[in-house]
Amino acid sequence: MYWTPLPKGSFTGIDWAQAGATSGFDPYLIWAEADNFAGYGFKKPPKWLPLLIELAPGISVAQLKAAASPGWLYVPPVYTSSAAPTGLRYCTARVKPAFFKHIRTGGSLHPLVKRFELGLPAGHHADDPSAPGASSSTAPHALLQGKVIGLIDGGLAFANANFLRDGKARTRYFWRQDEEGSGTVPANLGYGHELTAADINLAIQKHTYGGLVDETAVYEQFKMGMELNKRLNHGTHVLDIACGPRTVLDQIAGVPPSPNAPPSWKLADDDASRCDIVAVQLDWDTVVDTSGGSMNVHIMDGLMYILSRCAPVAKVAVNLSWGTLAGPHDGSSVLEAAMDQLIALRSGRLQVILPVSNNYQSRTHANATLSKGEQVTLHWRGQPGDLTQNFLELWLPPGAHGIEVQLTPPGQTSLPPLAWGKSGTWNASNGKPLCALIYPQSVATGVNGTCALMAVSSTFSFDKSTSTAPSGVWEVKITNTQPGKVTVDAYVERDDQIVGVQTGARQSHFEDQWYDTSGNPGSFVDHPANPSPIRRSGNFNSIATGAKTISVGGVRVAGPMWANYSPRKPDPDAGRPERRGIVKMPATHAYSDENPVLLGLKAAGTRSGGVARLVGTSDASPQEARRILNGM
């Protein structure tokens, strides 16, 4: 058993095997090139790579564009428009290979670009983004005033009566980010399709019979019938909680709107129930890829789209019921830093609200503190029949240069341990990588310490030419070889299926003899003295740990306070050592379960008058978004 040196990048042209070559880059970009983008469903490298870029202090997006060529760097115009707050140092971009030459020492972009993350979806967005279709909309838009609810999600039934006002659409602007559907391409973003309230109202009028709207016909007119012809859609449910005519608790008699509130509260008659809506339907590839492969780019573009349709004086609360599990968890990812800066630059007129995740019991987080010579072995189970790749991130604090990582695949002998700054792939007999351990000296995905990424190919494929990794337990042995104590966190990335979609994804997880799988929230596993490295505390939405965004946990209307699946406060692991700046507790909380038996809350189904139940902190987040909007 041996490691094969990383290859030369087929897109970037970077020889990743050279000493120090991986330092400062996104390890997912390195893995993408190591397996020739197979994890994204590509047979060859794409033409363009989507990135989320952070610029150096004092550098503007306009300066970035001026120092580059449109032949190899495309930044959506929204980032240099009046919608972009002065001083914004973050933007998305689509780049060609020449970009990676110009960010090297001596290149035109080297002093301008601080770091960037890959945001590549599986599918069509590798196409040339700089040539929007003839239907691209260049007409000026009427900017919204007052209070606005922004939604970034999937599956929005905008013709539902809960989102109408006097029979007219409250959804003033709707942007779906993929190639499906119909509408005009928003010129300031360059892809997807936009609908205005006028477009929606014309369709509603056309398909109204005897005073009733044929909602199915409305969606079919916009080529959205397939995703909206089902009882429950996540975005519809969430938006109803955020700004529908009733709150989720109206149907639970005698229940106050929030913990400790008086029980005299009645049907909604608030700003949220009347406000305008700007909605972004995420690229479908982004929605089904729950590992977040393209999430950062599409969320950032979505935020900028919402701001571009609102006047500078508008007060905007954006609900973002999405997220992943792996990451630094200290607010230093590029997307979290970008959201923090947008909120700061909008000076009280923008807030972004996110759920804390539903993974408190998912066994996707491990934590250990190691003195010199000490080691811990994590048992990471990869599921059989998994059509998707799996990822494990090991986060180390600054100065932890003595940590060695040794990987043992299921049923195999151990691969050699790799030290700080070393990387490699374990390949099949045909030379295709089955897994990689990418251990840069520093990474673009966080600014405090570094991350060692373990990437594993799918365990099953219908394509006979695809090499699959073995399922079973992967042993990850972590050893501290230098003086001093080092606290390490391991996070398994999210890899599950969304409601109503079969992708073949199967969530991998940690296993340990000391971990109590009974599900009891007060079990010994939550005690700081429990010897298990698997910790429920720390399972947290990895894009919800920023300093200025609002994270929302889920509590019960009746019964013990916290939902079993939600991170909580106080932190049960507060007595354990942790890396500096880690966020493990929600900023606030709202209801997400009726009681310990009746999980979830009721809100709008896809069609008007329909009611559906959804379980998770995605129910809690829009309640807080509603409260914040009303208080703005």
The residue to which tokens 């990588």 are assigned: 433
Q: Which of 152-161, 196-205, 429-438, 520-529 has the lowest mean pLDDT?
A: 520-529
d(CA 309, CA 136): 16
Measured between alpha carbons, how far is residue 15 from residues 229, 415, 438, 446 in Å?
Answer: 48, 22, 14, 23
At residue 12, what are phi and psi to the nearest 5 degrees? Answer: -75, -25
Selection from 533, 603, 523, 602 nearest residue 564 by Cα: 523
Q: Which of 274-288, 316-330, 578-592 has the lowest mean pLDDT?
A: 274-288
d(CA 431, CA 411): 20
The residue to which tokens 């929600």 are assigned: 586
In sequence order, what are the beta bridge partners of 168?
165
Element (H, E) at 202: helix 197-206
d(CA 414, CA 1): 7
60: left (phi over 0), alpha (psi -120 to 50) or beta: beta
Kind of pairing, strands 433-438 and 450-456? antiparallel
Tokens read off for 478: 């972590």
The residue to which tokens 């009891």 are assigned: 520
**Which pLDDT belongs to residue 127?**
46
Contact between residue 36 and residue 459 where contact means Cβ atoms under 8 Å apart: no
- Which amino acid appears at position 279 of this protein? A
Selection from 322, 317, 358 nearest residue 593 by Cα: 358
Whether cis (ω within 30° of 0) applies to the bond prior to 570 is: yes
- Which amino acid appears at position 221 of this protein? Q
d(CA 321, CA 413): 42
The residue to which tokens 């639970």 are assigned: 252
**Mean confidence (pLDDT) of the chain:** 91
**Which pLDDT belongs to residue 505?**
87
Q: How confident is the model at residue 137 (pLDDT cuts 50, 70, 90)?
A: low
**Which pLDDT belongs to residue 58?**
96
Contact between residue 33 and residue 423 where contact means Cβ atoms under 8 Å apart: no
Work out whether the CA dihedral 221, 225, 226, 232 comes out positive or negative. Answer: positive
Look at residue 89 and tell me whether its pLDDT is greater than 50.
Answer: yes
Look at residue 493 and tell me whether its pLDDT is greater than 60.
Answer: yes
In sequence order, what are the beta bridge partners of 34?
none
Q: Which of 316-330, 387-401, 419-433, 494-508 has the lowest mean pLDDT?
A: 494-508
SS3 call for 300: helix
More confident residue, 164 or 522: 164
Residue partners of 256: CB distance under 8 A and separation at least 6: 249, 262, 263, 265
Tokens read off for 628: 């914040």
d(CA 593, CA 559): 10
Look at residue 18 and tell me whether its pLDDT is greater than 50.
Answer: yes
Element (H, E) at 332: none
SS3 call for 589: strand
More confident residue, 246 or 274: 274
Kind of pairing, strands 433-438 and 423-427? antiparallel
- Which amino acid appears at position 173 of this protein? Y
**Which pLDDT belongs to residue 502?**
77
**Which pLDDT belongs to residue 305?**
98
Q: How confident is the model at residue 124 (pLDDT cuts 50, 70, 90)?
A: low
Residue partners of 597: CB distance under 8 A and separation at least 6: none
pTM of the model: 0.94
Contact between residue 267 and residue 250 where contact means Cβ atoms under 8 Å apart: yes
Look at residue 216 and tell me whether its pLDDT is greater than 90.
Answer: yes
Measured between alpha carbons, how far is residue 198 from residues 202, 205, 236 in Å?
Answer: 6, 10, 20
Measured between alpha carbons, how far is residue 340 from residues 346, 352, 548 in Å?
Answer: 10, 9, 5
**Which pLDDT belongs to residue 129?**
47
Look at residue 518 and tell me whether its pLDDT is greater than 90.
Answer: no
Look at residue 177 and tell me whether its pLDDT is greater than 50.
Answer: yes
Q: What is the pLDDT of residues 253-309, one digit of tens each?
A: 445 455 555 443 455 789 999 999 999 999 878 887 878 788 999 999 999 999 999
**Which pLDDT belongs to residue 112?**
98
d(CA 322, CA 543): 9
**Which pLDDT belongs to residue 23?**
97
Q: What is the pLDDT of residues 332-342, one digit of tens each?
A: 999 999 999 99
Helices (runs of H) and strands (runs of E) counted in the chain: 11, 28
Tokens read off for 191: 């892809």
**Which pLDDT belongs to residue 41?**
81
Average pLDDT over residues 353-374: 97
Average pLDDT over residues 542-556: 98
Tokens read off for 237: 């449910």
Residue partners of 130: CB distance under 8 A and separation at least 6: 70, 74, 94, 190
Look at residue 463 and tell me whether its pLDDT is greater than 90.
Answer: no
Q: Which of 223-227, 283-287, 303-307, 318-322 has the lowest mean pLDDT?
A: 283-287
**Which pLDDT belongs to residue 473?**
97
**Which pLDDT belongs to residue 265?**
40
**Which pLDDT belongs to residue 27?**
98
Q: How confident is the model at residue 594 (pLDDT cuts 50, 70, 90)?
A: very high
